[in-house]
């Protein structure tokens, strides 16, 4: 028996990196997938094909998670297409790094809007159908930066810390309806983005991690499968750090 058989998962920002890894692993566990992307149409088409080849129903939606009305519309369309919304993975996110002395108001606002407001937008859009069916699992992607801070990332850290407080509050509000709300906080995960970095820098980061390696998207995906499935049916309001021991 697959862990997510016949469930429908909405995954935001799923065409690359961690989001893509989650989508593929969810499909392998039997979930039908509705995923969002902002601009990469070719990557979305390729992902749609890969997921349907696994044997599930999958559809990509070009949608801006940071736009409140677009999020409402997305939930409506997904419900019409799939008939249910069982899992929400809020994964869409950006960085605009700079020291506080140099950061612009625009760059601060943009990161808060895309990383934090999008979580509010999508969660608000899915809770009504979840409440009606009296079940649901909401998984919000934070970061260890949201738990410990990082120089040059005041905007990103604030957005990711905000996700933790938001998720705990949702857990308290919706627990009586059997809707769970949890957070995954990735550490250093090696994706397409990190391959562009200097190898010596990356190696020095690996050396500072107790497990002596960076994580892979599958490591985050496995944690999300657990939180999306009935294996974690008595877990809500929690933050699971998937970081190789970085915060230990």
Q: How far is 97 from 206, CA to CA, in rounded Å?
A: 21
Residue 26 tokens read as 């969810």
Q: At 117, phi and psi to the nearest 5? A: -65, -35
Taking CA atoms, 33 is separated from 36, 126, 148, 228, in Å, by 10, 15, 32, 13
CA distance 10 to 3: 16
Which of 156, 167, 174, 224 is the catalytic position? 156
- Beta strand 58-62 pairing with 87-90: unpaired
Active site residue 156: yes
* Helical ranges in 134-248 per DSSP H: 144-148, 154-174, 199-207, 217-228
Q: Give the Cα separation of 96 and 152 in Å (integer).
A: 9
* Half-sphere CA count of 248, side-chain side, radius 13 A: 9
Q: Is the dihedral of CA 19, 25, 29, 31 positive or negative?
A: positive
Q: Give the tokens for residue 55.
A: 């044997």
As annotated, the active-site residues are 156
């Amino acid at each position: 028996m697959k862990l997510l058989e016949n469930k429908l998962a909405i995954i935001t920002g799923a065409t690359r990196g961690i989001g893509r890894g989650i989508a593929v692993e969810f499909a392998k566990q039997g979930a039908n997938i509705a995923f969002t992307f902002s601009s990469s149409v070719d990557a979305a088409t390729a992902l749609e094909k890969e997921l349907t080849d696994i044997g599930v129903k999958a559809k990509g939606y070009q949608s801006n998670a940071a736009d409140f009305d677009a999020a409402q519309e997305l939930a409506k369309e997904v419900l019409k297409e799939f008939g249910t919304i069982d899992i929400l993975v809020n994964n869409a996110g950006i960085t605009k790094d700079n020291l506080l002395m140099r950061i612009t108001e625009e760059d601060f606002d943009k990161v808060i809007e895309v990383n934090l407001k999008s979580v509010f937008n999508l969660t608000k859009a899915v809770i009504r159908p979840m409440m009606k069916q009296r079940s649901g699992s909401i998984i919000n992607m934070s970061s260890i930066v949201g738990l410990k801070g990082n120089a040059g990332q005041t905007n990103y850290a604030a957005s990711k810390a905000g996700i933790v407080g938001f998720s705990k509050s949702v857990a308290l509000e919706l627990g009586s309806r059997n809707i769970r709300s949890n957070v995954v906080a990735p550490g250093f995960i090696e994706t397409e983005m990190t391959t562009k970095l200097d190898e010596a820098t990356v190696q020095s980061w690996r050396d500072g991690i107790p497990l002596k390696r960076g994580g892979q998207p599958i490591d985050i995906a496995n944690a999300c499968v657990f939180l999306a499935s009935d294996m974690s049916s008595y877990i809500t309001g929690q933050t699971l750090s998937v970081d190789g021991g970085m915060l230990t």
